[in-house]
Amino acid sequence: MQQYRSPRWLPGGNAQTIWPALFGQRHRGPAIQFRRERWTTPDADFVDADWLGEDTTAPLLVMFHGLEGSTRSHYAQAFADWARRHGWRFVMPHFRGCSGELNLAPRAYHSGDFEEIGWMLGQAKQRHAGPIAAVGVSLGGNALLRWAEEAGGSAGATAKAVAAISSPIDLAAGGHAIGRGFNRLVYTRMFLRTMKPRALAKLAQHPGLFSREQLLAARDLYEFDNVFTAPLHGFRDTDDYWARGSAKPHLHRIRIPALVLNALNDPFVPGSSLPRVHEVGEHVTLWQPRHGGHVGFPGGRWPGHVMTLPEQVMGWIARHL
């Protein structure tokens, strides 16, 4: 993956982001059928986890989705298909409110939610006897790295290896990038189209939680986080959230094998914001190919597939189990 090159028929970071998500082949076999399980959280809320496979002694892949993602996302389908074909078990715990049903508590999810990641991994471990590895995508990858950083030497008792794919590990750099130009017109609008209604549903559930007028006026993720994400999760404002939630400054604290994969042409994550080898510590491997977009990494002839990503990432993880 370090030497990855996109097919010639799909040039540019935006094309390599959008086309695979919409049209890329996601699995080789029949449609994937998940089994849903509901976990009750310590604050009397719930998390829905989608399982694939029943062998509790096989290796287990725990996957954490990105902003507004789910097991319907192209990358989730591709990694689940890899697990199915290689005899692994798979589970994706959905962040609160992302499984198709509004969660109960006066909170949602965020990029630095390492305590929630730790709790979810603990739930998976209770239900599985074999070795566990974890992969996080975009927002989920940053949160997973934050968990590994906070857990330090104790992380290995839960997960043998972790990987973060296309993660904005410098949240301020990523947040400002997605709020400008083409990104603002396309990606910001796409995210706010679902995030705002979900936030308003949360307000109806918990009146007075935040200002409806300010939320409706938000035109980018910075403003949305200032009104909703930051105050609901204990941050002073967006700047405080982005600073405290970013994984990049703490990568040297990781004590288990960790892969951090970012394409240099990712529209959301500026290449200039990515860490260098001397900044990350001996347990962290950096893959920074020139091509791939944001969680794209398409392969094959037109119309292409998205299975190169799990093949490469899980190949790396399997070597560290």
Q: Report the C-alpha gap between 169 and 138 in whole angstroms.
A: 9
Residue at token pair 């037109």: 302
Contact call for residues 309 and 81 (beta carbons, < 8 A):
no
**Residue 294 annotated as catalytic:** yes
What are the phi and psi torsion angles at 64 (to 5°)? -115, 125
154 in active site: no
For residue 143, what are its two tokens? Answer: 């949160």
Q: By CB neighbour count within 10 A (0-12 exposed, 13-18 middle, 19+ buried), where does 106 fall?
A: middle
What end-to-end distance do the CA atoms of the chain give, in Å? 19
**138, 166, 167, 246: the active-site residue:** 138
Cα 212 to Cα 19, 68, 201, 205, 235: the distances in Å are: 35, 21, 11, 13, 19
Catalytic residue among 81, 113, 170, 266: 266
The catalytic position among 27, 233, 294, 305 is: 294
- Specify whether 65 is catalytic: no
User: Which strands sit side by side in the sheet containing 132-137, from one edge to the other?
Assistant: 35-40, 46-52, 89-93, 60-64, 132-137, 161-165, 258-261, 284-287
Residues forming the active site: 138, 266, 294
